[in-house]
Amino acid sequence: MIAFRVLTLIALLPVQARPAEGGWQARATEHFQLRYPSSVEPIARNLLPRLEPLRAAIMTDLSIQDQGSILVVLAPDRPSFFALQPPGVPDWASGTSYPETRTIFLRPADSLEIRANTLSGIFAHELAHLLLHRRLSGRSVPRWLDEGIANRYGRSLEWDFPGPLLGVGVTGNYLPFATLRDGFPETGPQARLAYAQSTDFVQFLKRSYGPAAFQAFLDHLAAGEELDPSLQAAFGRDLASLSSAWLKHARLSYGLVGLLTGAIPLWFAISLLALWAYARKRKTSRRRRELWELEDRAAALSAADDEDDAAPPTVH
């Protein structure tokens, strides 16, 4: 669930060409163009009526004024999802957004995946990335803020959020937000911690200082101010001071809850389960890649046989 900032025309050409060539369908709402192949018609019909309400909720929450149209491409399967986009999309991604071209790519879950989120939740997450880019006039945004806001609307790791936060509450160990400005850990417990604490930090700012102060913070960023001056102007504190205040909140809230409810052993159990699930997922992903490679080889061999049968002899 990553907001990419660059999209080449190559990524859009297949989408624009295939509706007429490969059974792709197009549906429109007031602010969205949804394109999808006939094979995922039921999924598209379920998603379509959710687009406008989710947009309205996010725009109201972030005080965004935007009338532009957004293209939503629902790929039929995992290979198509990646083939329609530029290289570099992580293999675990289930949605991407490209603010410059106002495009969102989605894919349905395949039979080997177990995710806590729905397709509409993934869409909402990517839409929040795109609209936040609009809210900030295209200016650079810290990764913790980008993901913390987007996770308010759709969390692919929601089931695992209590575990990392209980750990912060008990130990006081967390990832400094200054290190989460430009990127997150790719996978594993550190990635879950980055998403969990970023989401909780954003919620902490809104709860502690109020929606008006949070909107003022976004206004200062949109005007081109640096992060710390924007935080100072809106909340009266810089990132280091706010991080310390959040840590005190986390230690009191999650640490106390963990100790009083006996959830700490449960957190360790969840962590062990998460590590087991991660190892199993890697093994499954490896097998899946091997299967795809075999399928690709079989398709290539079949195509070569067809060419041999159909091609006329070459004359020198």
User: What's the pLDDT tens digit per position in 68-86?
Assistant: 899 999 999 989 999 999 8
- For the cut 90, the answer to whether the pLDDT of residue 302 exceeds it is no
Tokens of residue 22, six digits: 């490969």
Give the tokens for residue 77: 């399967």
Instruction: Output the pTM of the full model.
Output: 0.73
**pLDDT: which is higher, 61 or 292:** 61
Backbone angles phi, psi at 85, to 5 degrees: -120, 165
What pLDDT is recorded for position 26? 96
| Segment 119-169, tens digit of pLDDT | 888 999 999 999 999 999 889 899 999 999 998 887 544 445 667 888 888
Query: Average pLDDT in the 233-248 region?
Result: 97
Provide the percentage of residues in the chain whose pLDDT is more than 90: 49
Q: 166-180 burial by CB neighbour count: b if 16+ within 10 A, else e? A: bbbbbeeebbebeeb
Q: Which of 47-51, 96-100, 169-173, 277-281 has the lowest mean pLDDT?
A: 277-281
- Given a cut of 80, is residue 95 above it in pLDDT? yes
The pLDDT, as a whole number, for residue 313 is 31
Look over the chain and give the mean of its residue pLDDT values, rounded to a whole number.
78
CB 84 within 8 A of CB 15: yes
pLDDT per residue over 176-193, tens digit each?
999 999 988 877 788 889
Judge whether residue 13 has pLDDT over 90: no
Residue 308: the pLDDT is 46
pLDDT at 171: 87
pLDDT at position 258, please? Answer: 53
Packing angle, helices 162-171 and 263-310, rounded to 10: 140
- CB atoms < 10 A from the CB of 31, how many? 16
Structural domains in the chain, sorted by start: 1-135 (3.40.30.160), 156-282 (no CATH)
Range in 36-50, 83-97, 119-133, 215-229 the model is least confident about: 83-97
Predicted pLDDT of residue 275: 54
